[in-house]
Structure 1
Amino acid sequence: MIKETGRGGASNGLTRRGFITGTGSILGAATLGMPRASARTRAASIAHGAHVPVLVIGTGYGGAVAALRLAQAGVPVHLLEMGMAWDTPGPDGRIFCNTRSPDHRAYWLRTRTKAPLNYFLGSSIDRDVTRHTGVLDAEEFGGIIVYQGRGVGGGSLVNGGMAVTPRRENFAGILPSVNADEMYGVYYPRANAELGVSAVDPAWFDATPYYQYARVGRKHAQRSGFRFTFVPDVYDWDYMKREEAGTVPKSALAAEILYGNNHGKRSLQQTYLARARATGRVAISPLHRVTAVVPDGARYAVTAEQLDTAGNVTATKTVTADRVFFAAGSVGTSKLLVKLRATGALPRLNDEVGRGWGDNGNVMCGRANHMWDATGARQSAIPCAGIDNWAAGGAFAEVAPLPVGIETYASFYLSITRNPHRARFSWNAAAGRVELDWQTAWKQPSIDMAKTIFDKINATEGTIYRTDLFGVYKIWGDHLTYHPLGGAVLNRATDGHGRLHGHPGLYVIDGALIPGNTTVNPFVTITALAERNIEKIIATDLR
C-alpha cells in the first residue's frame, strides 16, 4: 500500500527575505486551495498486476476532464500522479507553506529554492530547503526553466488562476484545425462553468488597498493609449472580500500562491476532480511516476515507480489498461512519448512526437515608478487585470503583484507574446534522458514585443525599467516559462481529437496538443479542448 505522504512540516518564521523569495508567485498564470472536506481526493494505491479499463497519466486539467467525463459515461478510471495528494495539513495546520517562508513543501526534490523572481536589489534571495516532493517543480533544460505543478491537481496548484478565453479573432492561430464555432459556443462555456470562473467586482477593485498596484497599472496603461482589461479568475472573490474584512483566514491577501493556496482558490481538487471522485468510478494513486507504456496484446502494460517523499523509489509496479490517456502536462507527456518511441516501446509513434513545443511567449519585467505612484505594501497575490496590445504589438501583459510586504514603488508584469520559435524534445541515448533544444536567445522576439508596451509607458511616465529583480543589472526575466505548450501537437502527432498515430487506444489530452501559444493564459483552452476531445472519444471509441 502507498504510504501516507500528504504531511508537511512546520514552516519557518516570517522574514522579509523569505517573503520576497515568494514574490514570483504572482506570475504563474496559477495554486491549490485548501480542499474542502467534501472535495478531498483521498490517496489510493494501485496494485502491481492490476487491470483497469482506462489509465490516465497525470491529474492536471486534461486528465481531470477525461476522468470526470469517462466516469460519468460509466467507465472506471484510475489516475497515476507523480506528485503528492496535498490533502493533509502539516503540524502548522496548513497544507501548503507560506510563500513568504518556503520550506520543504515548496519545491519538487530540490535542496535550494529557485523562485521565478529570485533577486532583490541585485542579490540572490533563494534559500536552502530539505529535499522533498514539494508542490512546485523548476525543471531546468539547456535554455529555459519550466515551472510546473506537482501533485493531485497538477498545474492548478501553482498558477495564478487567471482564467482567460482567447479573443475569438486569435483562435485560428492557436488551433487552426479546430472548429471555432464549437469551441466558443460549447466547450469554452462548459470549461468556464466547470472551473468556477468569475471576475473581480469592479467597485471593490477600485476601493481596496490590495489592488492599488493594479490601479496604478491601469492608469499607466490608459495614459499610453493601451487597452486595460479585467481578467476572470478561479479565485473565490467573496472569500477575498472576507479576507479583507478579517472574518476568514487570509490566503490571497497573505501572498499565498506560488507554493499553494490554503483557502480561496478553486483548484481542480474542488472542481473536476471532486466531481470525478463523487461518481465512485475514479481512483487516484499519488507519488507514482510512469516510466513505460508498451503494447500487451490488445491492452497496454504500464510501469510506474512508487516514490516516497524524499523521491526514493519504494516499489515498481506494472499494470495493464485497455486505454491510456497521456495527461502529464506538455513537458511530462512529451518527454515520456519521445522516450517510448526512441527506446522502441512505442515504435509506431510518428516523427511529430516531441515537436512544436513553445513557452507561450512568456517574459517578465518590472518598472520603477515615481514616489507619487506607490503600488502599496499590501497586495493581493491573485492578478486580475492585463494590458492588451496583441493586435498591434504581439503582447498581452498581466499586471502582476509584487507582494514583498513593503512599498517598492514598482510595477511588475508577466507578458505573453507572439513568439514564433518552437523547440523539439529528443532522446539522448548516451545520457539516458530527454532533452529540449530551446535557446535563451529565442526569447528576444518576446522582449521586443513586450517593449512595445513598456517602452511607451516608460516614455509617457518618465520612468525606467527595474534592473535588480532577475540578476545583477538584468532587465528581463527571459529564463523561464509558466505556460509550457506543445510537444504532441493536435493533427500532427495525433489525429484531430488526440488519438496518437500508430497505437490505437493511446491518447493525448493535455497542453502537449497545443502548438506553443494560446495568446493568453492557457489553462481554459487546455480544459475546453479536453472537453471537446473526450466527448468525441467517448462517442466513437467507447460505445
Structure 2
Amino acid sequence: MRETVLPDSGASGVSRRRFVVGAGAAVGAAAIAGHVAAPRAYAAPAAGPIANGARVPVLVVGTGYGGSVTALRLAQAGVDVHMIEMGMAWDTPGSDGKIFANTTTPDHRSFWLRTRTKQPLSNFLGFPIDKNIPKYTGILDAEEFAGIMVYQGRGVGGGSLVNGGMAVTPKRENFAGILPSVNADEMYSTYYPRANAGLGVTSVDQRWWENAPCYQYARVGRKHAQRSGFPFVFVPNVYDWDYMKAEEAGTVPKSALAGEVIYGNNAGKKSLQKTYIAQIKSTGRVTITTLHKVTSVAPAAGGGYTVLIDEINTTGDTVATKSVTADRVFFAAGSVGTSKLLVKLKATGALPNLNNEVGKGWGDNGNVMCGRANHMWDATGKLQSSMPTAGIDNWAAGGAFAEVAPLPTGIETYASFYLSITNTPHRAEFSWNAATGKVDLSWQTAWKQTSINMAKTIFDKINQKEGTIYRTDLFGTYKIWGDHLTYHPLGGAVLNKATDNYGRLHGYPGLYVMDGSLIPGNVTVNPFVTITALAERNIENIIANDL
C-alpha cells in the first residue's frame, strides 16, 4: 500500500486530498475506462460502523443505484470507500423466517418510521385497508409533501428493494428530451449495455408467459390494449425467471407468486444486494454503515469535507452524532434525499457557493394510477405475479406509457390495474423553510391533471371499446385516479445545471451527485436503468480525470 497526496486545489476545501490506493490504482482507473477487469490487490475491509473522528478517502451517501455504481467502480480502481445508509441492511430474517414482509400483510418491517401503513392502494371494495403498525425503520418510506407523497426504498440497496423490477431502457428517439447534454450514442452503445449487464436484466420467456396462470392479468391487459389499437410491449425485468417457474411448479418458496414486491422480495428478484452490492463486498475495499444519516457537509479546515452523521436506532431516535472527514463526497441519497440535503446545506451556510439550480427541476415521472372493472368473462386471476412484464405504449400519440400492473390480493377481482408514466411538463422546486427547519417542495396536486389526461388517452378508449368502467374503490371513496403519489422521483440537482455534465457540483471540487436527482423530472419509462447507466458514465469520467 502507498499513500498518494494530491496537489492543492485552491479554495475548494479539498486541498492535499489523500487517497489511500493500492499499487495498481492507476492501472485500475484505466481498466474502468476500458471496461476490463481491474487489478484485485485489495485491502482488507474495515470492521464495524464508521467511527467518530474517522478520515476516509471517499464517502458515498446512499446505497441505491447511483451510490452502488460509484462505490463499485471506485473500489475496482483501487480507492477505499465508505458508504452511509440511513436504512437497515435487510440481511436478517424476522420471527417468521423471512427478511421482508408480505404485501398483503404489512407489519413493522413494511414502513419507515410510521405507526400506520400508508399503502399506495388505500381502499379495496369500499373499505380502508391501512392498519396500525409498530414504529420501526421499515423498508418503504411514504414521504409526504404538501402536494404529493413520494415512495422511496430504505435500506442497503435503496429503491431496488421495493420496486417491481421493470428494467426499461428508454427509446433512443426520446433520449434527447431526457438528458440533452449527454451523448446518446455513448449511452446506447456503452453505458446502457453496461448497466443492463450489471443489473442482471433479462426478458421473460414469452412461450411460458402465454400459459402461466400468474400472468392471466397481463394477457387480459394485452387483449384489451390490442382491441383498442394500442401497441402492447414486453419489457425486461431483473427477476430470476427460472426461479419464478420453480415457484409455479411448487419446488421453491414462493416470492413473486406470494405477492412480494413493495415491502421487499425474499427470493427471486435481483435487487442491488445480489448484483452491484455483492460485487462491492467482494472487493474488500468498501465498508457500509447502516442506520446512519448524513446531516451536514462542509469544507474542513485541513482539506476535504467535514461530514456530520446521526446514528439512529430502529425507532428513529438519534443515539450518537459523529463527525468524520472525507476527501471526496458522493451524494447518492436519491432524488429527494440528495435534493433536500443540498438545499439545506446551501441555505444554512454549510455550502453557500452551490449555485441556484440546486433544488430545481424536480418531477414525478408523470406517475398516475388507475384500475378498470372488467366483465365477468375477463377474469384476471387469483394468482398474480408481482413482477410486471409488459406495458401499453401510447407515448407518441398521447404522451403515456402504462405498465400493466399486478393486483396480487389472492382473490379474483376482475380488475385491470395500471401504473402510467406520462409526459408531464411540470417541475417543482425544493426550498428551505427557516421557520420549520425543513425543506418544502412546491409540487401542486392539480398538476396531476395533465398526467390523468394523458393516461385517459389509453383507458377512456379501452373502456369505450370493452364497455367497461373505471374502478372507484382503490384510492378512496369514489376516487378513480391515484394522483397523490409517485414511485419515480427525479430531479432536484439537474445534470449540467446544478452540476457539470458529469455530476460535479459547481463551487465545490470533490463533491458529486450520482443519483436520480440528476435527471430533470421525467425519463419516459421506469427510471432505474437510466440512473444506473448515467452513474456508470459519470464515474468513468471522474475516475479518469479526478483521481
**Common topology (TM > 0.5):** yes
Q: How big is the shift at 1:321?
A: 0.6
Deviation at 1:97, TM superposition (A): 1.2
For 2:122, the equivalent position in structure 1 comes to 118
Q: Corresponding residue for 2:41?
A: none
The whole-number CA distance in structure 2 between the counterparts of 1:85 and 1:348 is: 34
Instruction: Give the residue type in structure 2 aligned to 1:494.
Output: T
Deviation at 1:325, TM superposition (A): 0.2
Report the Cα offset of residue 123 of structure 1. 2.1
Which of these residues, 528, 531, 535, is aligned with residue 530 of structure 1?
Answer: 535
Structure-2 separation of matches of 1:267 and 1:146:
20
In structure 2, C-alpha distance between the alignment counterparts of 1:237 and 1:126, rounded to whole Å: 32
The equivalent of 1:409 in structure 2 is 414
The aligned runs of 1:248-397 (5 Å cut-off) are 248-297=252-301, 298-397=303-402
- Listed one character per residue, the Cα deviations across residues 236-269 of structure 1 (whole Å, up to 9, x for unaligned) are 0000000000000000000011101000010101
- The separation in 1 between residues aligned to 2:308 and 2:282, in whole angstroms, is 27
Match of 2:518 in 1: 513
Q: Is 1:449 aligned with 2:454?
A: yes
Separation in structure 1 between the aligned mates of residue 506 and residue 183 of structure 2, nearest angstrom: 21
Give the structure 2 partner of residue 29 of structure 1: none
Q: Does 1:184 align with 2:204?
A: no
**CA–CA separation in structure 2 for the residues paired with 1:43 and 1:416:** 43
Q: After TM superposition, give the deviation of residue 100 of structure 1 in Å.
A: 1.6
Matched residue of 2:272: which SS? Answer: coil
- In the superposition, relative to structure 1, how do residues 496 and 287 fare at CA in structure 2: closer, same or farther (>3 Å)? same
- Asked if 1:460 is matched to 2:460, the reply is no
- Matching residue of 1:4: none
User: What is the distance in 2 between the residues matched to 1:257 and 1:389?
Assistant: 26
Q: Could you tell me whether the CA contact under 8 Å between 1:122 and 1:470 is conserved in 2?
A: no
Is residue 481 of structure 1 aligned with residue 490 of structure 2? Answer: no
Partner amino acid for 1:257? V
Structure 1 partner of 2:245: 241
> What is the Cα deviation at residue 277 of structure 1?
1.1
Who is 1:88 aligned against? 92
Q: CA deviation at 1:43?
A: 8.6
The answer on 1:200 being equivalent to 2:185 is: no
Q: Secondary structure at the match of 1:269?
A: helix
Amino acid across the alignment from 1:234: V
Percent of aligned pairs sharing the same letter = 77
Counterpart amino acid of residue 84 in structure 2: L
Q: Secondary structure at the match of 1:539?
A: helix
Distance (Å, rounded) in 2 between the aligned partners of 1:209 and 1:89: 30
- 2:63 matched residue in structure 1: 59
Q: Does 1:421 align with 2:421?
A: no
Distance of 1:409 and 1:353 partners within structure 2 = 46
Amino acid across the alignment from 2:335: S
Cα distance in 1 for partners of 2:380, 2:265 equals 23
1:207 is paired with a residue whose SS is coil
Q: Would you say the 8 A contact 1:325–1:506 is kept in 2?
A: yes
- Report what 1:37 is aligned to: none
> In structure 2, how many angstroms separate the alpha carbons of the residues matched to 1:99 and 1:455?
29
Task: Give the aligned CA root-mean-square deviation in angstroms.
Answer: 1.0
Q: Distance in 2 between matches of 1:63 and 1:277?
A: 14
CA radius of gyration, larger in: 2
Letter in 2 for 1:65: V
Are residue 109 (structure 1) and residue 134 (structure 2) matched?
no
CA contact (8 A) 1:43 1:284 kept: no
Match of 1:11 in 2: none
State the alpha-carbon separation in 1 of the partners of residues 253 and 49 from structure 2: 33
What is the deviation of 1:122?
2.4
Letter matched to residue 52 of structure 1: V
Q: Which amino acid aligns with 1:439?
A: Q
Cα separation, 2, equivalents of 1:191 and 1:83: 24
Distance 2:406 2:527 in 1: 20
Instruction: Determine the structure 1 residue equivalent to 2:228.
Output: 224
d(CA) in 1 for partners of 2:407, 2:280:
36
1:13: which partner in 2?
none
Cα distance, 1:118 vs structure 2: 1.2
Q: Residue 42 of structure 1 contacts residue 85 of structure 1 at CA under 8 Å; is this kept in 2?
A: no
Shift of 1:42: 11
User: Does the residue aligned with 1:318 lie in a helix, a strand or coil?
Assistant: strand
Secondary structure of 1:435's partner? strand
- Higher mean alpha-carbon deviation, 402-411 vs 356-365, is at 402-411
One-letter code of the match for 1:338? V
Question: What is the distance in 1 between the residues matched to 2:135 and 2:46?
Answer: 24
CA offsets 1:354-374 (integer angstroms, 9 cap, x no match): 000000000000001000000
Of 219, 225, 229, which aligns to 1:215?
Answer: 219
Q: Secondary structure at the match of 1:160?
A: coil
Cα deviation, residue 44, structure 1: 3.5
Q: How many residues align?
A: 502
The verdict on how the C-alpha distance between 1:54 and 1:389 changes in structure 2, with shifts beyond 3 A counting, is same
Contact 1:43–1:85 (8 Å) recurs in 2:
no
| Structure 2, unaligned runs of 5 or more | 1-44
- Give the superposition deviation at 1:90: 1.3
Change (3 A) 1:216 1:43: farther
Separation in 1, partners of 2:405, 2:442? 29
Distance 1:132 1:153 in 2: 18
Question: Structure 1: which 5+ runs fail to align?
Answer: 1-40
Task: State whether structure 2 residue 210 is matched by structure 1 residue 174.
Answer: no
- Kept in 2, the 8 Å contact 1:253–1:378? The answer is yes
Match in the other structure for 1:24 = none
1:100 matches 2:100: no
SS at match of 1:382: coil
The code of the aligned residue for 2:265 comes to: N
Task: Kindly provide the amino acid, as one letter, of the partner of residue 521 in structure 1.
Answer: N
Q: Distance in 2 between matches of 1:44 and 1:225?
A: 57
Does residue 50 (structure 1) correspond to residue 57 (structure 2)? The answer is no
Secondary structure in structure 1 of the residue aligned to 2:520: coil
> 1:92 Cα deviation (Å)?
1.3
TM-score by length of 1: 0.92
Secondary structure (helix, strand or coil) at the match of 1:392 reads helix
Name the TM-score, length of structure 2 as normaliser.
0.91
Q: Quick one: distance in 2 between partners of 1:302 and 1:271?
A: 28
Distance 2:175 2:421 in 1: 15
User: Which whole-Å deviations, capped at 9, do the CAs of 1:424-467 have from their partners, x for residues lacking one?
Assistant: 00000010000001000000110000000000101111111001
1:160 aligns to 2:164 (yes or no): yes
After TM superposition, the runs of 4+ consecutive aligned structure 1 residues lying more than 3 A away are 41-44
SS in 2 for 1:356: coil
